[in-house]
Structure 1
């Protein structure tokens, strides 16, 4: 009982220490966005659901319903553009500082779970063996086909690509590099669409989803220019912002049923951008939630993103072992997200946070000399 209590207190202390945007309490800190934290969480769970195809099928759910959750990927990328612009802020950061922070945040945990996924696929699942060449290419963020070893992380390869683009343009202009990067991302997407080149690496690095980054940056620019939408009375402005949120959400829900063949940037990128624009506008108008739980879980979204595949694999294995039980599959549609949450919280508190802190101290940037 004593050890259980100590463990509970220790865990709660870590949660209390990590959930809160404490820096937002200081005079020097940039603004902390509350509503976008909820969107981060929604996008993470939507991505987790989209990879539960086997469970959803066994539960006899219409595949079109599952397809609704594809909005999570575009919302994730639009949010990445918005939050990257927020981190860089008005004055920007040097290329070295920005890239160091991104590498420490992204790479070690990604490498660890990619190796784990390789071991699971080769020695636990056995039906999907992967050669070492694919592992090494995945670890190097090089696309060799549609998906890396840990296939939900294909969008992470796009994020790393965009991070390198930003770093390059930060060398050109610290203040405006982020906006040059957005323009270049649109250019890359257009080049991929019009060139006719079929090389898989070129096709991957010119994915139209790059435009979502640019849309997120544009939204940050609008938000950073002052309260919006327009100069309407408060009630009118709230109504317009709420309508933007509703329109974006409804468009994403209706897409699989009414316009499934519409280009992704139109069918999902623009609606998710409108959704983000509306939620940011609502926050600027004073309509937001500063939920302690949401803020903490939003910090765990990278861990959710990396770990949900393992929970989904176990869920599909359980359904297969049960002979395709619809009842078990239905239960797992509710249980799996809870399991993903528990696993990701543990990974965040006992893996991501200490690892990031250790590497930040071990490899301090030029702005912070080692003690």
Structure 2
């Protein structure tokens, strides 16, 4: 079990959450003071997630070969149920209390594009659950990866999604950050070859230094280079280093998806509460409390809803997909 990856997932999720918290603090006139230097930096959590996804797909497929259909089913069971549930919850809240939303104006077309992970491709912009824009990239990658699984040759299975992503990116049909999935795939191939696994620590140090430099020096180039490349080095470093045994970090990694999704609700709710009842509370403390609140609610959502929902769906169809695992 690659526990270090779980810890990195936790870091990535909390980074993105804090990025959105800083944005919310400004919107609610409670802008942070000390944490202003992190205003944009937390966005790198998305890039880390993409590299991890590319790595996990190749790594898991190598350990347990699956058909294209089985792979897609596995991915849908992993990400869709809780995402659909929270998307429906957002729309339901809107129709009951529309005043709590500033920008949301749901329509049937927008809703359908959101739950089918096509809102950006169809020109609707962000999906109903706005953080779902990253899931649309994930689903696009899953479809391409499954196309590769049609071929029995491992080389063709690997090269098919890689080449399609390069063509799509070069034509400007998607952002360069989509290539971060390719970085993850390459990372897995190198790891499985066992040729350079002794370079784990220096790789991690290099990636961390580059990522930290981006806090203080705003480099005007695509995030693929600023965040994606160092994310590759960090992932490669962590998978080749001694694996942690800290149960809390591992649990937070498992709960990272729920934490990532629930922020859509918890951050504005917390800031509405704090601006009304705790207006004099130090703004940086409000931001930290919002992060803690989001993490706790996300963990509860994971334990009580996400895990059970995925388990019920998986068990209901396991006879049809016997070789499916949820990771």
TM alignment of 1:199-218, pairs within 5 A: 203=173, 206-218=174-186
**Structure 2: any 5+ residue segments left out of the alignment?**
none
Alignment partner of 1:299 out of 244, 254, 268: 254
CA RMSD between the two structures:
2.3
**Structure 1: any 5+ residue segments left out of the alignment?**
1-31, 193-202, 230-236
The answer to whether the aligner puts 1:141 opposite 2:96 as a matched pair is no
Q: Which whole-Å deviations, capped at 9, do the CAs of 1:154-199 have from their partners, x for residues lacking one?
A: 111100111111112212337442442123222221121xxxxxxx
Equivalence for 2:39? 66
Q: Distance in 2 between matches of 1:65 and 1:297?
A: 22
1:39 is paired with a residue whose SS is helix
The answer to whether the aligner puts 1:86 opposite 2:41 as a matched pair is no
Conserved 8 A contact 2:48-2:231: yes
Alignment partner of 2:4 out of 1, 18, 35: 35
Equivalence for 2:129? 150
Q: Distance in 1 between matches of 2:189 and 2:285?
A: 43
The answer to whether the aligner puts 1:222 opposite 2:190 as a matched pair is yes
Q: What count of residue pairs does the alignment treat as equivalent?
A: 312
Computing the radius of gyration from Cα coordinates, the structure with the larger value is 1
1:58 is paired with a residue whose SS is coil
- Residues 218 and 318 of structure 1: is their aligned pair in 2 closer, same or farther, counting only changes over 3 Å? same
The answer to whether the aligner puts 1:340 opposite 2:294 as a matched pair is yes
The answer to whether the aligner puts 1:165 opposite 2:144 as a matched pair is yes
Higher relative contact order (CA 8 A, sep 6+): 2
Alignment partner of 1:242 out of 201, 219, 222: 201
- Residues 341 and 62 of structure 1: is their aligned pair in 2 closer, same or farther, counting only changes over 3 Å? closer
Structure 1 residue 225: Cα displacement:
1.0
Q: Which moved more, 1:212-221 or 1:55-64?
A: 55-64
Equivalence for 1:51? 20
Q: Distance in 2 between matches of 1:74 and 1:288?
A: 22
Q: Distance in 2 between matches of 1:179 and 1:349?
A: 37
The answer to whether the aligner puts 1:280 opposite 2:239 as a matched pair is yes
1:172 is paired with a residue whose SS is coil
